[in-house]
Structure 1
Amino acid sequence: MSPRFRSALAGTLGAGLVLGLAACGGSDDSNDDSNTAAQSSIDCNLYKEFGDLKGKTVTVFASIVTPEDKAYKDSYKPFEQCTGVTIKYEGDKSFETQILVRAKAGNPPDIAIVPQPGLLQQLVATGKAVEAPATVSANVDKWWGKDWKAYATVDGKFYGAPSGANVKSLVWYSPSEFKESGYAIPNTLDELKALSDKMVADKKKPWCAGIASGEATGWPITDWQEDFMLRLYGPETYDKWVKHEIPFNGPESTAALDAVGAYLKNPAYVNGGLGDVKSIATTAFQDAGLPILEGTCSMHRQASFYAANFDKGTKVAEDGDVFAFYLPGKDGTSKPVLGGGEFNLAFADRPEVKAFQTYLSTDTWANIKAKASQGWVSANKGLDPNNLSNPVDKLAAVILLDPKATFRFDGSDMMPAAVGSNAYWKQATSWITGQDTVTTVNNIEKAWPK
């Protein structure tokens, strides 16, 4: 591929939803209005530089299964029509186990949609993953922040463009209650504390929470602590904590858990409509925010995906029955965002695979995918939030795309399994049922592999 094409493709392919041109190949799906609309938003000429791709196949493997996979398949159709390439998508709920097995066995897909940086690193370590082409690297430089690119960079080599994202730094609330009671959305942690105290003075329980999740019981507390690590000590210290460059029982981690305790272990604050502090451990996380609709609690800290737990008749919107606001930073100038996301990792470097990777790294694809989806957003700077039909998706996109936002992945997901998905969950559960903070962080530190 010529240097001229690399710069032209990176500069043009993602430059907004460009004027449509005729399809370059593939089947005639002109009777499918959705296909035609999607096709009209990409410039097929940009893919001619990859050569004649008609009749080629690219396999994609992911954790998203039917019916949620339809939006992915639909978003691939414009590329298929332009190039004549067939995209074969396979979803598997056991993806995280199976992708490692397949990679180690020498039978990986062409592209995997990988949901965690830690798993991406494991896959790179198999020696089967391939570096992303220059076109993808250039598009990521243009459309994402450096923090996102760093998560898909291993030993100085860049492997995959980000795909979807989710926001965990949210607080769910009742817009009507806030309006009727004269409550303002807080802009700082101090204002959040003052709001909680005002609700107590108004004879309310400000917070409801639940951490029961089968074998994963305890994980919502890890999200709380991660959010407070980011807010109290900043992204650099957070990164050191996740990598164990500072101890889990150090002063920062201890203070962050105590800051969470100021909310979750405060009997005046919790657990509205559900019980006392200890009831948090036995309340299913799916049920924990529902008392907001009953008026027995006022706020619930949980990710953007929590919207799915409200009944279908519930209006989730800024003027609806329930909505969410950004969990504020320490001050109004910083905007730390805790969340998760996916990456497109390739195991082949054939021209058709490179072309498809490039398509997935553009703002063009992000906007097509956004129009086709519910419950999906991206941190791609070219994403137009107006292409998202779901109010929570729009809120998440606005938070992710804020120039002041500093994004960090869920820390427990990146810690060794003995810690992040074992000791951390178990000790957090013991903590909420009465164990002191020092014992809790000491026990988690002891679990860290030597």
Structure 2
Amino acid sequence: MGIALVQVEPHGIESLLRLLRFITASVFLAVSVQLLTACSPGLDAGDKVVRVYAPFFDASADAFKRELSLVSARTGIQVVLETPSNLNDQIDSDIKANSLPDIVIWDNPRDLLNHSDKLVALEQLVNVASIKDTLISGWAEVASQGEKTFGLPVSSNIKTGNKSLVFYSPKAFERNGYAVPTNGQELLALTEQIKKDKSGYPWCAGIESGGATGWPATDWLEQYVLEQAGQSVYNQWISGKVSFDSQEVSSAASTVSELLLSEGSVYGGGVQMSKTSFGETTPLFSDGGLSSGQCFMFKQGSFLTDFFPTEIQAEVLSGNFESVNAFALPPLKDSKRVVIGDGFIASAFVKDSDVSEVLRFVLSDQFGMEMVKSVPFLSPHKTFDVDAYPAGFARLVGRATAEADLFGFDASTAMPRQVNEQFWIAVASWIRGESSWPDAAQAIDASYPR
């Protein structure tokens, strides 16, 4: 058999690479589906229509439909997307009317698991073990109970799917001779060096957010509960089996206190933190030193770019990262690098072959190749093609997320609502110095439904 040689002009190389990636992904998907189908015997035949509820709107909904059209083209299954304005109310109404959708994509495992008595365990529909192999560790357990998995991630939230990023100004670092820390020892050393130099404050940190004041501090605490105590304790903490006054959570609170509440760490200390908006980024770009409140590092999710000064946003959009960049928060000790975030989780109310087909695709590491072209998208799979993300912050976030050792779903979001709200209130009081950590922990623990 002869081999045809194709000459490619330089300007056509990118198009050819995109074509090859598409072909490779298509072949991989077809083979994967065949393999996974063999692992889901005993399914009833579907009616070739699958109803999906999802919290995607506008451009994201259109991009999601394009993803689903790939399944329709291959299988002949009509996938109908519905986007209820209030998902929980709609599900409750559907339960009463006995007209539940086939698949629901949730933005909170708490709400998903509240309906576990009516959901189908995904082990009955897909090869969960195979999906786990490609997921970032920690994601597969977010919506499970005992040995049953009721939900698996479709995507992380591009804005808040990785809240373990540290933004900094390369210009400010260069002016002061600072280097980006690559491990915990270097991070602590940099923190102390900035204090010693009196060039500014190591950390930018505001927790004011109106009625939700305190939530940024909960992210800090979650970071170190997961990093120091591990996934099992973290998940038990969410469910209330590990208390806020436990040794594990109290140890994480001590770490947060050392980083943020020790003298010289943050402008104005805890009192000023509680008055400063979570999106106040101006001091990050200041060059006025201590007197101006200049700070050098800002831990937050990628949504922080929306709060940059207009001229900095313009630089970022143009691909210029001289004024701002970001790095993954390194673990403080010899432990796993963890990521705190959130995302969208798929579940099923119906057990049939059509639902299985659709789930196998949306839960695979090939899902998102269409969405990433036109809307913000972040895959929960460590095997997702990082080069598919647009160049710039999206690719940086994608790589930092994929390379993480362990993912933890935003604990306060996943906790019961009244606990979430008390968490904000109590941690804000602690940050302000109005209460000790034991008192704050006791107040939060008392809010759990028993």
TM interval, shorter chain, is: 0.7 to 0.9
Q: How does 1:18-417 map to 2 (within 5 A)?
A: 41-43=25-27, 56-103=48-95, 105-125=97-117, 127-129=118-120, 131-145=122-136, 147-165=138-156, 166-202=161-197, 203-271=199-267, 277-285=270-278, 287-295=279-287, 296-310=294-308, 311=310, 312-315=313-316, 319-332=321-334, 334-374=336-376, 376-402=377-403, 405-417=405-417
| Unaligned stretches of 5+ residues in structure 1 | 1-33
Supply the AA of the counterpart residue of 2:223.
D
Letter in 1 for 2:196: A
1:205/1:270 contact within 8 Å kept: yes
1:428 alignment partner in structure 2: 427
**1:229 offset after TM fit, Å?**
1.6
Q: 1:112 to 1:318 in 2, by over 3 A?
A: farther
Structure 1 contact 136–357 (Cα < 8 Å) conserved: no
CA distance in 2, matches of 1:198, 1:104: 62
The alpha-carbon distance between structure 1 residues 386 and 339, as it changes in their structure 2 partners (threshold 3 A), is same
Q: How far is the alpha carbon of 1:267 from its aligned partner?
A: 4.7
Aligned amino acid, residue 303 of structure 2: F
What's the CA shift string for 1:381-400, capped at 9, x where partnerless? 33010000053332333233
* Structure 1 stretch displaced more, 161-170 or 84-93: 84-93
Q: What is the deviation of 1:122? A: 0.9
1:329 CA displacement: 0.8
Q: Is the 8 A contact 1:61 1:111 kept in 2?
A: yes
SS in 2 for 1:278: helix
Larger relative contact order (Cα-Cα within 8 Å, sequence gap ≥ 6): 2
Q: Does the CA contact (< 8 Å) of 2:168 and 2:324 recur in 1?
A: yes
In the alignment, structure 1 residue 448 sits paired with structure 2 residue 448: yes
CA distance in structure 2 between the aligned counterparts of 1:332 and 1:319, rounded to whole angstroms? 30
Residue 60 of structure 1: CA displacement? 1.8
Q: Does structure 2 conserve the Cα–Cα contact (< 8 Å) formed by 1:423 and 1:447?
A: yes
Asked whether the equivalents of residues 336 and 405 of structure 2 are also in contact (C-alpha less than 8 Å), the reply is yes
Using the alignment, how far apart are the partners of 1:252 and 1:150 within structure 2?
A: 20
Instruction: Give, in whole Å, the separation in 1 of the partners of 2:137 and 2:72.
Output: 30
Q: Residue 418 of structure 2 aligns to a residue in which SS? A: helix
Q: Deviation per CA, 1:95-122: give whole Å up to 9, x if none.
A: 3443344345533322111122222211
> In the alignment, is the contact (CA less than 8 A) between 1:106 and 1:128 conserved in 2?
no
Q: Which runs of 5+ in 2 are unaligned?
A: 1-17, 288-293
Deviation at 1:297, TM superposition (A): 1.9
One-letter amino acid of the structure 2 residue matched with residue 204 of structure 1: G
Write the distance in 2 (CA, Å) between the matches of 1:384 and 1:342.
19
After TM superposition, give the deviation of residue 146 of structure 1 in Å: 5.5
Identity %: 27
1:133 & 1:283 partners in 2: Cα distance? 49
> How many residue pairs get matched?
408
Aligned to 1:9: none
- Assess, with a 3 A threshold, how the Cα gap between structure 1 residues 130 and 244 changes in structure 2: closer, same or farther: closer
2:327 is paired with a residue whose SS is: strand
* Distance across 1 between alignment mates of 2:137 and 2:97: 33
User: Which letter does structure 2 place at the counterpart of 1:222?
Assistant: T
Contact 1:143 1:363 in 2 (8 A): yes
